[in-house]
Amino acid sequence: MSNWPSIDVLVKQVKSGQVSAKDLVDKAFSFIDKNRHFNVLISELKEQAYARATEIDNKIKNGQDVGRLAGIPFIAKDNFLTFDGYTTAGSNMLRNFKAPYQATSITRLLDEGAILVGKANLDAFAHGASTENSDFMITKNPFNETRVAGGSSGGSAAAVALDMAPFSLGSDTGGSIRTPASFCNVVGIKPSYGLVSRSGVVAMASSLDVIGPLTNNVSDGALILDVMSGPDQLDSTMIEKDKDGYGNFEPLKDLKGVKIGVLNDLMNEGLNDKIKIRTQEVIDSLKKLGAEIVDISIPSIDLSLAVYYIVCPAEVSSNLSRYDGIRYGHHDDSAVDLEDYYLKSRSEGFGAEAKRRIMIGTYVLSSGYYDAYYKKAQQVRTKLINEFKQAFSAVDFLVSPVSPDLPFKIGEKTDDPLKMYLSDVMTVAANLTGIPAISLPVGMIDDLPVGFQIMAPFKADRQLLQVSEIVERQFK
């Protein structure tokens, strides 16, 4: 159980003067101080947070409007550009980088009175599933310090699990919100592609990247999504938000008339037996609530990981080309000429995983291999999109586990990148197809948290949240 009440309760308390924004910042830092050894935050923004709190408390005293998130502390993954502090993306390349502009999502939250208290650890450039690729430190799992917190938004998930703030932000290119959410026992929402502006979030793979909240419960996540979503002129790929928004749905009494498809293709080999059993128990509870459960097959889903690990590195190699050591980021001034300058700056600034992805990406895009790899992958991606559309013509939601494993031991997968990539087998399809997906905590197995994934049709984020809320109630 979290030490924080729900965000709407907190906001009421702040607005009524029952607690001050400063009290909430005190509370956030008491948990940050207590849990520093979990390696969660790359930077703490104490001074700035207290200054903001004073500003908000003064406004309240003067009867001014303070917004829908008045005084609520939050933590952003360190790939969100912020005016306060540094933005490192977890990489040596950006270790001392001061952002010249701010992510739209951050600005929207601040405009509603939220208070940024820290920036969370991540796999460098969000490449990974465990935060072990961070150039700063490895975030430990809040439930067992010998295990990983998941990734790449491991710091963000652990921050909420350790009560450092009532919510945090993550980015999800292939599972990076959902996997750490499931490893840390929090709710992680990956919205539809384009629902939240990507402006000001360090680009990983632009056709897959989405950003979303990590929270203690579904309704907190829904409120944060409501504040962040909606068109932004700085991101031309955006979609309209639901006309009813996301923060105010009616709680469902049951699931009568709701059709739920089980992705059996994801429930086979490689899945931890105990997770399989727990997933089945959750499905049984949906049935008890009146849902109609059917088996659904997505014939191409077993290709999704292969497609992801072609499309993603292709886009990564392109996005990382901007780090030339000249415009910004790490640079090595001992270079003798321009080529040497690029070579030295990039060799020193990027870690092994970024280099691996640059090589794979450049390879699959090169003229001799483009047709065999990149083009083929895009064709299968289109097929996958169509198969999901077809599935959603028969059911309202699809469900599966989030991860094939429980939080694994630190170091267990680091010497074999393919093992690490396999962690993403259940999550990447939602990114390739752009659909919304959520990870919900569904209890513990062997004292470690486990999550349950629900996916909905593109743009059906509101419906996804509504059904998630009733599922959540079964496990409280």
Annotated active-site positions, please?
A: 77, 152, 176
21 backbone dihedrals φ, ψ, rounded to 5°: -60, -35
State the Cα–Cα distance between residues 470 and 52, nearest whole angstrom. Answer: 36
The whole-angstrom distance between residue 140's C-alpha and the CA centroid of its chain comes to 17
Q: Which residues on adjacent β-strands are paired with residue 212?
A: 170
Q: Per this entry, what is the length of the chain?
A: 476
CB of 19 to ligand GLN, least distance (A): 35
Q: How many CA atoms lie within 13 A of 157 on its CB side?
A: 40
For ligand GLN, which is the closer residue by CB, 71 or 407?
407
Residue placing its CB nearer to ligand GLN in the complex, 21 or 365: 365
CB of 173 or CB of 279, closer to ligand GLN: 173
Closest contact distance (angstroms) between CB of 173 and ligand GLN is 4
Q: Minimum distance between the CB of residue 420 and ligand GLN, rounded to whole angstroms?
A: 7
Dihedral sign, Cα of residue 468, residue 469, residue 473, residue 476: positive
Least Å distance, CB 427 to ligand GLN, is 7
H or E element in which residue 364 lies: helix 352-365
Phi, psi of 119 (to 5 degrees): -120, 130
Longest dimension (CA), the chain: 71
Our CB check for ligand GLN shows the closer of 127 and 147 to be: 127
CA distance 345 to 323: 8
Least Å distance, CB 210 to ligand GLN, is: 9
Closer residue to ligand GLN in complex, CB, 71/174 = 174
Looking up tokens 């980021």, which residue turns up?
329
Residue with tokens 């292969």: 306
Nearest-approach distance from CB 233 to ligand GLN, in angstroms = 25
Q: Output 73 or 150, the one with its CB closest to ligand GLN.
A: 150
Q: What is the CA radius of gyration of the chain?
A: 21
Residue 132 makes CB contacts below 8 A (sequence gap 6+) with 123, 138, 148, 151, 410, 411, 413, 414
| Residue 422 Cβ vs ligand GLN, minimum distance, rounded to whole Å | 10
Query: What values do phi and psi take at 263, rounded to 5?
Result: -80, 80
Cβ atoms of 369 and 363 closer than 8 Å: yes
**Nearest in space to 441 (alpha carbons), one of 475, 392, 405, 403:** 475
Residue 74's nearest CA partner among 111, 109, 121 is: 109
Closest to ligand GLN by CB, 28 or 305: 305
**Which of 344/413 has CB closer to ligand GLN?**
413
| Alpha carbon separation from 3 to 216, 275, 411, 440 (Å, rounded) | 10, 27, 31, 19
* Angle at the Cα of 422 from the Cα atoms of 428 and 89, rounded to 5 degrees: 65
Closer to ligand GLN by CB, 11 or 316: give it: 316
CB atoms within 10 A of CB 67: 18
Given the rule CB under 6 A, which residues bind ligand GLN? 126-129, 152, 171-176, 204, 312, 424
The rounded distance, in Å, linking the Cα atoms of 450 and 448 is 7
Around Cβ 206, how many Cβ atoms within 10 Å? 14
CB 15 → ligand GLN: shortest distance, Å? 36
Residue nearest to ligand GLN (CB): 176
How far apart CA 375 and CA 311 sit, in angstroms, is 9
Rounded to the nearest 10 degrees, what angle do helices 352-365 and 304-319 cross at? 100
Residue 188 C-beta: closest distance to ligand GLN, Å: 11
